[in-house]
Amino acid sequence: MTNAAGQLLRAKREQLGLTIREVETASQKLAALRGNDELVINISRLSDFETKGNVPSIFRLYALAVIYAMDYSELLSWYGLELADQSRIQGWEPTPRTNKVDLTAGLTEIEIPIKVDPGFDISRTSNIGRLIQRWGIVPLAFLKELSDSRFTYGYVGTEDFTMYPLILPGSFVRIDESKSKVAHGMWRSEYERPIYFIESRDEFICSWCTLKGSQLTIQPHPLSPVPSRVMKHPHEAEVIGQVVGVAMNLTWSADVQQPPKERPALT
């Protein structure tokens, strides 16, 4: 793999009409601009990369990406690392704890629907896959301006039963950060009561909560085995925002992920 990558590096350099000496000089200029000597690629090192299969450091790989006007992720792919596949590696176990998620980490482009059935009716339950007539690849940079900075996304850990069975472990949640003030009132059902995404000193929590003065009470679902907790706000726990969307697998099986049968004793 690395020898093949070296051959690609050499082919790219020759395609650009650069000599090894010119690459060294360019790396020295880049190192001076960035104030980082790790970016310098001397002649012997570049020769080793191209002919001996030596693997560049992250700094020298970055320097090559700049000098060759290439995407850093493309260079990584020459060494067998695909950033776009990092969240889809088969057999990779999800984290057991609830945490914030960057859904676009490592991605430079994304496939999205670019043509949808004009007869689509949002009031009816539909098979979205059948409504999409055409997909297309769009660079994420083009979508940046359309992003809404109010929203962030969270992942409910496989061992987090705080809102079970309303929100199952392994779910993804969308959080509106503009709604970080805890609401008080009477709700006709559990579906109307706001759910919040909370960050404590050592974990994230997806739960109902109440705030009285500086006392933030974490209130799990009544059927959850997780006990209620009280934390000082905002020193011990801070409300990031309100959960406004949930994506979860309805085939989740309690035979695979068994919740504790009893609530742990309060401390």
Predicted pLDDT of residue 256: 45
Which residues fall within 8 angstroms of residue 189, CB to CB, at 6 or more apart? Answer: none
Domain that holds residue 60: 2-81
Residues 165 and 216 grouped into a single domain? yes
| Tokens (6 digits) for 147 | 């992003």
Residue 167 and residue 246 in contact, taking contact as beta carbons nearer than 8 Å: yes
- Number of separate domains in the chain: 3
Same domain (yes/no): 126, 158:
no
pLDDT of residue 118: 77
User: Would you give the end-to-end CA distance of the chain in angstroms?
Assistant: 55
- Assess whether 165 and 243 both reside in one domain: yes
Pick from 8, 181, 202, 248: nearest CA to 98: 202
- How many Å is the Cα radius of gyration of the chain? 25
Q: What pTM was estimated for this model as a whole?
A: 0.56
Predicted local confidence at residue 88, as pLDDT: 55
266 located within any domain:
no
Query: Given this model, what pLDDT does residue 97 score?
Result: 78
Say whether both 236 and 164 belong to one domain: yes
Contact between 67 and 86 under an 8 Å Cβ cutoff? The reply is no
Kindly state whether residue 204 falls inside one of the protein's structural domains. Answer: yes
Task: Looking at the structure, tell me whether residues 142 and 156 fall in a common domain.
Answer: no
Tens of pLDDT along the chain (267 residues)?
A: 558 999 999 999 999 999 999 999 999 999 999 999 999 999 999 999 999 989 999 999 999 999 998 888 889 889 888 766 655 555 556 667 777 766 665 566 666 666 777 776 766 656 666 667 776 666 555 555 555 667 888 888 888 999 999 999 888 888 999 999 999 888 999 999 999 999 998 889 999 999 999 999 999 999 999 999 999 999 999 999 999 999 888 776 554 456 666 555 444
In a domain, 95, yes or no: no
Is the domain of 31 the same as that of 60?
Answer: yes
CATH of the domain at 213: 2.10.109.10
